[in-house]
Amino acid sequence: MTVPVIAIDGPSASGKGTVAALVASRLGFHYLDSGALYRLTALYARLDEIELDDEEALAEAALTLPVEFRDSQVWLAGEDVSEEIRAEVIGMGASKIAALPAVRAALLERQRAFRQAPGLVTDGRDMGSVVFPDATLKIFLTASAEERADRRYKQLINKGESANLQQILDDIEARDARDAARPVAPLRQEPDAKRLDTTELTVDQAVETVLGWYQSLVVSGK
């Protein structure tokens, strides 16, 4: 029997990570935050002074990245970098290197290795289109750019960091535009993905919607 996969793709700060982790926990499935792998590669490049256009060196780094996902934290070479990789400068770097085909190829098998029983919930940009094209359920999770900027703003304020709403909105729109314009694995809704607009939804409502869709697929035996 093939291991079920729920693939959640969508733009920055739409709630993919939050919703995917909660759905995984409710189903007892594994969870893969694929964006973390791109962020880790960008962080590694920064620490190792690799230029963000050195495709060969970046692909090598992506392939051999000493990463661990443990205790809900992300570790790079034995160091907890969970907070560090969330910085927008790393998100921007991730978006730049994510446009390089050799980097995406290097991360492909690493991502597929997370497909383990009893199931996987994963989020990113190309989980349903490229990494798990046979996913059981594909979702395009989105929200208005203003709502997404507001969510990021609140996340930063809650962490005690300073934040500028307009700057966050500009950064989100710039990153989405780059992710949507690239020729390889662009950010877009696939024809076989269900659209979930969470602009007016709470996290719980979004989680229940995903679980409801998944249960109806399981019941109908698809």
Q: Which of residues 189-218 bind ligand CDP (CB under 6 A)?
A: 198, 201-203, 206
Q: Phi/psi at 183 (nearest 5 deg)? A: -70, -30
* CB of 13 vs ligand CDP, minimal distance in Å: 4
CA separation for the pair 85, 160 (Å, rounded)? 17
Q: Which of 50, 61, 62, 98 binds ligand CDP (CB under 6 A)?
A: 98
Residue type, 196: L
CA separation for the pair 140, 102 (Å, rounded)? 25
CA separation for the pair 38, 61 (Å, rounded)? 11
Q: Binding of ligand CDP at residue 171 (CB under 6 A)?
A: no
Q: Binding of ligand CDP at residue 34 (CB under 6 A)?
A: yes
CA separation for the pair 167, 174 (Å, rounded)? 10
Q: Binding of ligand CDP at residue 14 (CB under 6 A)?
A: yes
Q: Binding of ligand CDP at residue 59 (CB under 6 A)?
A: no
* Pair 132, 139: CB distance under 8 Å: no
Structure tokens at 53: 């256009």
Stretch that binds ligand CDP, among 7-15, 22-30, 52-60, 68-76 (CB under 6 A): 7-15
| 129 is an annotated ligand-binding site residue | no
Q: % helix / strand / coil in the chain, to the nearest 5? A: 50, 15, 35
Q: Binding of ligand CDP at residue 106 (CB under 6 A)?
A: no
Is-cis flag, bond preceding 11, omega within 30? no
By rule CB under 6 A, what count of residues binds ligand CDP? 28
* Pair 185, 125: CB distance under 8 Å: yes
Neighbour count for residue 197 (Cβ, 10 Å): 15
Q: Binding of ligand CDP at residue 13 (CB under 6 A)?
A: yes
Quick note: the x/- pattern for ligand CDP over 124-163, rule CB under 6 A, is xxxx-----------------------x---x--------
Q: Binding of ligand CDP at residue 81 (CB under 6 A)?
A: no
Q: Binding of ligand CDP at residue 43 (CB under 6 A)?
A: no
* CB of 217 vs ligand CDP, minimal distance in Å: 22
Q: Binding of ligand CDP at residue 115 (CB under 6 A)?
A: no
CA separation for the pair 221, 3 (Å, rounded)? 14
Which residues are known binding-site members for ATP?
10-18
Q: Which residues would be at the binding site for ligand CDP (CB under 6 A)?
A: 12-18, 34-35, 38-39, 91, 94-95, 98, 124-127, 151, 155, 175, 179, 198, 201-203, 206
